[in-house]
Amino acid sequence: KVLQIASVIGREFDLDLLQSVSGKEMAAAACLANLQENDFLLEKQSSPVAQYAFKHSIVRDVAYNSLVQKTRKAMHDRIANYMERLNPERLEEYCDLLAHHYLKGGRTDKALDYLEMTNQKYIRLGALQEAMQSFSEVMRILDTLDSIDFPALDSYRMRLVVDQYYPFLSCFKIREYLELLSRYRANVVSANDPVILTKYFSAVAGCHMYFGNFDEAVPSARRAILTGKEIGHPEFALMAYAILFFS
């Protein structure tokens, strides 16, 4: 069973998490030693926390697939819960793994929160290709939901979309991004969320500036700056300020 739990955690795992999930500290440690001797696992580091990895991917696959779907689902959810408890100050560091486990565990709401955190982390770090991938993954999941089961669907989608200028820019897909923004314009305006409005019009201004459409870029930039000032967050309209400065 220890090998099965480890297979759900992932290709690599640490002893603390495995013991927390299994609930059998001494048994888990002894079992891991035995699995190492039989060439199933290798120890990657012994301190400060012992970390292990599957030596062969096929061993992990067999162990993982030996679990029935209901058990795997419950185990993924349990692992995510323990990860949150064991590392409350490092959630951003593990947000992609938390998203993975909550998604596999059927906790779509929690998975989406961590996927959004993953997307924002990548944008902040300048890992824009990875940010684009995480954005696509979130949008794919959102497309499978409806507003009855997930009332915050439209708000969540808008909040995510308005932050994607630089990921789309890195992929040379500004035209597609402008089309996406245009598709959500009515929703953004009717929602009247000042933060989303500021980011939205700043992004729209950036897209038009990219194509040299100053007549379209400047009004959007001014609206973004005005809304940003009203809520005391002009930093949400930095691109809008740059556009007005250079236009």
Give the pLDDT of residue 49: 79
Mark out the alpha helices in the chain (DSSP H runs). 2-9, 15-22, 25-37, 57-65, 69-86, 95-104, 108-125, 128-142, 153-161, 165-170, 174-183, 185-191, 194-210, 214-230, 238-246
Q: What is the largest CA-CA distance in the chain?
A: 70
* pLDDT surpassing 80 at residue 225: yes
Give the pLDDT of residue 24: 67
DSSP state of 164: -
Q: How high does pLDDT run on average in the chain?
A: 91
Burial tier of 148 (Cβ tally within 10 Å: 0-12, 13-18, 19+)? exposed
Taking only the tens place, the pLDDT of each residue in 192-202 is 899 999 999 99
Mean pLDDT over 130-140 rounds to 93
Taking only the tens place, the pLDDT of each residue in 158-184 is 999 999 999 999 999 999 999 999 999
CB 193 within 8 A of CB 228: no
Q: Which of 45-49, 104-108, 134-138, 179-183 has the lowest mean pLDDT?
A: 45-49
* pLDDT surpassing 90 at residue 64: yes
Band of the pLDDT at 25, cuts 50, 70, 90? Answer: low
Give the pLDDT of residue 103: 93
Q: Which of 29-33, 36-40, 85-89, 236-240 is the most confident on average? A: 236-240
Band of the pLDDT at 115, cuts 50, 70, 90? Answer: very high
